[in-house]
Structure 1
Amino acid sequence: MTFTPAPWPRQLRSQHWYGGTSRDAIYHRGWMKNQGYPHDLFDGRPVIGILNTWSDLTPCNGHLRELAEKVKAGVWEAGGFPVEVPVFSASENTFRPTAMMFRNLAALAIEETMRGQPIDGAVLLVGCDKTTPSLLMAAASTDIPSIVVTGGPMLNGYFRGERVGSGTHLWKFSEAVKAGEMTQEEFLEAEASMSRSTGTCNTMGTASTMASMAEALGMALSGNAAIPAVDSRRRVMAQLSGRRIVQMVKDDLKPSDILTKPAFENAIRTNGAIGGSTNAVIHLLAIAGRVGVDLTLDDWDRCGRDVKTIVNLMPSGAYLMEEFFYAGGLPVVLKRLGEAGQLHKDALTVSGMTIWDEVRDVVNWNEDVILPADKPLTEQGGIAVLRGNLAPRGAVLKPSAASPHLLVHRGRAVVFEDIDDYKARIEDEALDIDETCVMVMKNCGPKGYPGMAEVGNMGLPPKVLRKGITDMVRISDARMSGTAYGTVVLHTSPEAAAGGPLAVVRDGDFIELDVPNRRLHLDIPDAELAARLAEWRPTHEVPTSGYAWLHQAHVEGADTGADLDFLKGCRGNPVGKDSH
């Protein structure tokens, strides 16, 4: 793609606040000057909003204030005027009922922050899972020149000589305790090794996946995704991004120029190659919906089906993000995709160059971490999109994290009506379940939980774990943490709370999973299914006020990104009227 920069100089958006000698301009400038800014900063240079998701309650982003200072330095160097703006930070590990419920609220709040304030360009300072998609959604809606700077992953964890992946080993050790293979004291000892530096999860969880998606989409500088949070090169990346956003404003290089259908197809294929999180499906669908690109679940299956997983990282593989960075990071993966004919090489990036120009000369420094094309971790690593009478609008499964022997399976359903029912019964030794069964959980989708929590990777019953069994087929309308693993069918659409077929599955029904043929089937007669659906009545709680009500009333299904229905489409950023 060829990009033609807009003529410069031209009147910037911020000049509608700060330009001229009117009473209103003096009002806007005068208040800003109480911070000691000289008059010539308001003379028409680009005002860059550094949208910072730092929070003490978002530990993954706890170092972003330091990174913001490096961004500011880059903006000053390039002749811009940096202003740091704290924005809504949806922390994955503290928000209840789930951070996903607040992704859309964050995107809405940040969109209005961008729309209503005098900024010409934005640096999206993100890290924790939902902060990256929420800020990208806001930028796509407003179409202000924007660049992503992620906080980077934490350092490797180690426990008794074993690599410990944040999140991944939480699930692993928790199951080991239930199976009697690890003591509670040992679990508590291991806790200290799981998160030993600032930064996001060190596995290929959702945070690292979304950092990779931002880079694959072209919305971050090449190499951004994998630099560890505490590495000095992360601060250099922040400063370079600060410099670059100033030129992007001068060129009028906007998200809509970068976030094209080919860019999303590049990201989908990248997700398959890295063994990325299933959460990327929902987030990319939502971002595409905001910018006005027609992206569907079928695109995920079409683009990802023949992509090999070549990144040997937990939860699918053996290594962690630190090794991924040392091996060359995402640019090496993008180069491999280009060599395999699976990359739109002319897709534009925030650098002003094509994605292929960015990566064509990179080198793989460790072929145990980024595997050769003829020795992949998984031959078909993309997200599998399943359909059938149990998921008419689709469900997803991550083959690289699943057990091969369960990818074709027929089993008896053991049904949990919601997460509370699951918690109450899963450890009951009288529960009629064995490893051949299919665990089914309802009412955990966008409307039902509400917010669609990461509870889809249901822990197995202790009596099954004690047999040495580590995986079973599990089906729900929930999500799964990107750090988790297993043969887990997620995002079943329509969700149970919206009257989807999942709502009427009963104990003892047989369910067929056929991943190679993309089939998910409830083995009952069509007439019986129709009769059950006709009798169904909702049982989930309906909020009566506040954001929970707004969310449940307007959230769409997982199959289209679980965004609020009134926020679809790029609405642009008109200057609007001054109210003073």
Structure 2
Amino acid sequence: MRSDIVREGLEKAPHRSLFKALGFTDRELSGPLIGVVNSFNEIIPGHIHLRDITEAVKAGVRMAGGVPVEFPTIGICDGIAMNHRGMKYSLASRELIADSIEAMVEAHAFDGLVLVTACDKIVPGMLMAAARLNIPAIVVSGGPMQAGRFRGRDVSLSNVFEAVGQVKAGRMAPEELAELEEAACPGCGSCAGMFTANSMNCLTEALGMALPGNGTILAVTAARRRLAKLSGMQVVELVRENLTPDRILTPAAFQNALTVDMALGCSTNTILHLTAIAHEAGVKLDLRAINELSDRTPNLCRLSPAGPFHLQDLDEAGGIPAVMNLLLAAGLIDGETLTVTGKPLKENIKDRAVRRPEVIRPVDDPYSATGGLAILFGNLAPEGAVVKQSAVAPEMLRHRGPARVFDSEEEAVSAIMNGNFQSGDVIVIRYEGPRGGPGMREMLTPTATLAGLGRDKDVALVTDGRFSGATRGASIGHVSPEAAARGPIAALRDGDMIEIDIPARRLTVLLEEREIAARLAALPPFAPKITHGYLGRYARQVSSASSGAVFAPGCGRS
């Protein structure tokens, strides 16, 4: 076993002495040493219960004859970090998570890993570490939050963000907002819609790195604890069989995950994270090829914010296995890809039927014939931009309007809150990319406020930053190259006409190329907003959103 280098032989007597200081017996020192990464903290609702989940994982490891060793990693709550300086650290924390796990695993020679996770950057950070380290590993999430109940309907966090705009527009009383605030998030778990956290936990199943049910079994249920125990037991089997991530995270597995992404209508952030995980796995994802997948994959689910259903409804309907079984029958995914069950994907999803067809639509009667996400290209986004097309009102799928340009999220939010925009405008928020932000802030406040004001059907947003998975409307993010890298978005001025054509996958500004080039050449050198601390280092090292905003060069296996 890999851990023999810290446990076996005469010269390792000092090492064994340290293990015995921890209370380990000789019998324990002969079993597989399993690192259990617990991202518990007391600031994220999706993580507040992870001590419980981790204890269940450790029980499973012990039942299978392994030796669990728990260690922590960090996590940031995107909701609490939203719309202030703290959000600059959210995406940047993904690299810290991957790096911290790498350091702990390599220093202590674990034989296998269970990655106990839940929320936005933590899930991809852990998957990046698994791909980089390439030792037997399995992911188990804390599960989604139950939807709240408010005046006879299911609600979640996105409803609260949108309600702020409704109060501003006089469409909701402040007292009603206070009531909603109390009801929307009823307990532990990752926020109840198909936002980034739940998107990534569902796609972890599709990648084959988690047991069936990982993405949808509610956090508060005993089934979630049973899944954690089974995951602990299964990692010991993975070690015995030496089933490593490189055998699971293949090009076909990523194609499967992207196809499921399109069928579910996941967060735009999944493109950023799947690209980063693929980078660590040595797999190249082509953004233009993602459009080909979207063009042939029907959108089968409309979960909040794109529709009325939540993760608990998807679970009742059959979960990710039911979705994948439909896609497999239609010839849209590869059933031969290997998974952490030790079996091919087709065995995991065999006979998994759809139990609520209003939640998971048939392939021949989808919500739309094309997938939930689209990658847009054009002279405003030569390297691509991302939109959640399943959450865009039909009248905004094609739109032409004048640019209203802001150089920060704060400026844009102030203008939106004060009504300083017109019907038809394209609100542009730039210098919020990976380097320019730095940290590529997720901007739910401007999108949710517009939706709350009832303006998501006549105003578009375009940014080199990111949007939350809870965003709906014509919100186009990840514009690459970013403004800080002198992408064309840096050349925009108020009044420039921007043309959005989501069905044609186009994002253009109606300017001649020579005019764009002249404007860019006249700009002063980019002055970083932050030059010290971790964010200063991050800004100097991070690559474009089109390549996953990974550190470049020299990250992972590149």
TM-score interval for Structure 1 and Structure 2 normalised by the shorter chain: over 0.9
* Residue 495 (structure 2) aligns with: 508
Instruction: Say which of 6, 22, 26 aligns to 1:39.
Output: 26
Shift of the alpha carbon at 1:469? 6.1
Q: Does structure 1 residue 103 correspond to structure 2 residue 90?
A: no
Q: Does structure 1 residue 360 correspond to structure 2 residue 350?
A: yes
Shift of the alpha carbon at 1:456? 6.5
Greater shift in the superposed pair: 30-39 or 401-410 = 30-39
* Residue 14 (structure 2) aligns with: 27
After superposition, the Cα gap between the structure-2 partners of 1:434 and 1:543, relative to the gap in structure 1 and judged at 3 Å, is closer
Q: Distance in 2 between matches of 1:188 and 1:494?
A: 41
Q: Distance in 2 between matches of 1:377 and 1:453?
A: 30
Residues 448-477 of structure 1, C-alpha deviation per residue, up to 9 Å, x if partnerless? 111111117724888x97677655211111
After superposition, the Cα gap between the structure-2 partners of 1:465 and 1:504, relative to the gap in structure 1 and judged at 3 Å, is same
Unmatched segments (≥5 aa) in structure 1: 1-11, 572-580
Secondary structure of residue in 2 paired with 1:93: helix
Instruction: Say which of 77, 82, 87 aligns to 1:91.
Output: 77
Q: Distance in 1 between matches of 2:389 and 2:330?
A: 20
Q: How does 1:285-304 map to 2 (within 5 A)?
A: 285-304=275-294
Q: Distance in 1 between matches of 2:360 and 2:170?
A: 35
Q: How does 1:341-380 map to 2 (within 5 A)?
A: 341-380=331-370
After superposition, the Cα gap between the structure-2 partners of 1:217 and 1:542, relative to the gap in structure 1 and judged at 3 Å, is same
Name the TM-score, length of structure 1 as normaliser.
0.92
Percent same amino acid at aligned positions?
39
- What code does the residue aligned with 2:34 have? I
Residues 84-138 of structure 1, C-alpha deviation per residue, up to 9 Å, x if partnerless? 1112223323451331121112212222222222210000100011110001101
Q: How does 1:346-425 map to 2 (within 5 A)?
A: 346-425=336-415
Greater shift in the superposed pair: 301-310 or 61-70 = 301-310
Maintained 8 Å contact 1:52/1:84: yes
Maintained 8 Å contact 2:165/2:453: no
Greater shift in the superposed pair: 452-461 or 499-508 = 452-461
- What code does the residue aligned with 1:124 have? L
Q: Distance in 2 between matches of 1:97 and 1:223?
A: 30
* Residue 65 (structure 1) aligns with: 51
- What code does the residue aligned with 1:193 have? A
Q: How does 1:190-269 map to 2 (within 5 A)?
A: 190-269=180-259
Secondary structure of residue in 1 paired with 2:246: helix
- What code does the residue aligned with 2:105 have? M
- What code does the residue aligned with 2:342 have? G
The two structures, once aligned, show a CA RMSD in angstroms of: 1.8
After superposition, the Cα gap between the structure-2 partners of 1:294 and 1:76, relative to the gap in structure 1 and judged at 3 Å, is same
Shift of the alpha carbon at 1:200? 0.4
* Residue 49 (structure 1) aligns with: 35
* Residue 136 (structure 2) aligns with: 145
Residues 477-521 of structure 1, C-alpha deviation per residue, up to 9 Å, x if partnerless? 111111121111110000011111101100010011111211111
- What code does the residue aligned with 2:131 have? A
Instruction: Say which of 417, 438, 441 aligns to 2:426.
Output: 438
Q: How does 1:519-534 map to 2 (within 5 A)?
A: 519-534=506-521
Maintained 8 Å contact 1:456/1:477: no
Secondary structure of residue in 2 paired with 1:61: coil
Maintained 8 Å contact 1:301/1:382: no
- What code does the residue aligned with 2:286 have? T
Maintained 8 Å contact 1:413/1:506: yes
Q: Distance in 2 between matches of 1:254 and 1:395?
A: 33
After superposition, the Cα gap between the structure-2 partners of 1:172 and 1:444, relative to the gap in structure 1 and judged at 3 Å, is same
Q: Distance in 2 between matches of 1:357 and 1:39?
A: 39
Q: Does structure 1 residue 136 correspond to structure 2 residue 133?
A: no
Secondary structure of residue in 1 paired with 2:440: coil
Secondary structure of residue in 1 paired with 2:220: coil
Secondary structure of residue in 2 paired with 1:247: helix
* Residue 458 (structure 1) aligns with: 446
Secondary structure of residue in 1 paired with 2:95: helix
- What code does the residue aligned with 1:21 have? L
* Residue 6 (structure 1) aligns with: none
Q: How does 1:482-497 map to 2 (within 5 A)?
A: 482-497=469-484
Q: Distance in 2 between matches of 1:265 and 1:29?
A: 44
Q: Does structure 1 residue 189 correspond to structure 2 residue 179?
A: yes
Instruction: Say which of 268, 293, 297 aligns to 1:307.
Output: 297
After superposition, the Cα gap between the structure-2 partners of 1:553 and 1:449, relative to the gap in structure 1 and judged at 3 Å, is same
Q: Distance in 1 between matches of 2:345 and 2:455?
A: 46
Residues 53-105 of structure 1, C-alpha deviation per residue, up to 9 Å, x if partnerless? 00112221111111111111111111111111112223323451331121112
- What code does the residue aligned with 2:208 have? G
Secondary structure of residue in 1 paired with 2:363: coil
Maintained 8 Å contact 2:135/2:244: yes
Q: Distance in 1 between matches of 2:160 and 2:441?
A: 17
Shift of the alpha carbon at 1:185? 2.1
* Residue 4 (structure 1) aligns with: none
- What code does the residue aligned with 1:142 have? L
Shift of the alpha carbon at 1:34? 2.2
* Residue 462 (structure 2) aligns with: 475
Secondary structure of residue in 2 paired with 1:132: helix
Q: Does structure 1 residue 122 correspond to structure 2 residue 113?
A: yes
Secondary structure of residue in 1 paired with 2:36: strand
Q: How does 1:540-579 map to 2 (within 5 A)?
A: 540-570=527-557
- What code does the residue aligned with 2:9 have? G
Q: Distance in 2 between matches of 1:538 and 1:346?
A: 51
After superposition, the Cα gap between the structure-2 partners of 1:214 and 1:388, relative to the gap in structure 1 and judged at 3 Å, is same
* Residue 9 (structure 1) aligns with: none
Q: Distance in 2 between matches of 1:472 and 1:321?
A: 29
Maintained 8 Å contact 1:149/1:238: yes
After superposition, the Cα gap between the structure-2 partners of 1:457 and 1:268, relative to the gap in structure 1 and judged at 3 Å, is farther
Secondary structure of residue in 2 paired with 1:88: coil
* Residue 145 (structure 2) aligns with: 154
Residues 262-286 of structure 1, C-alpha deviation per residue, up to 9 Å, x if partnerless? 0000000100111100000000000
Q: Distance in 2 between matches of 1:522 and 1:312?
A: 31
Q: Distance in 2 between matches of 1:525 and 1:244?
A: 58
Q: Does structure 1 residue 16 correspond to structure 2 residue 2?
A: no
Q: Distance in 2 between matches of 1:266 and 1:13?
A: 31
Q: Distance in 1 between matches of 2:418 and 2:340?
A: 54
Name the TM-score, length of structure 2 as normaliser.
0.96
After superposition, the Cα gap between the structure-2 partners of 1:461 and 1:140, relative to the gap in structure 1 and judged at 3 Å, is closer
Secondary structure of residue in 2 paired with 1:51: strand
Q: Distance in 1 between matches of 2:449 and 2:341?
A: 50
Q: Distance in 2 between matches of 1:206 and 1:416?
A: 25
Maintained 8 Å contact 1:456/1:476: no
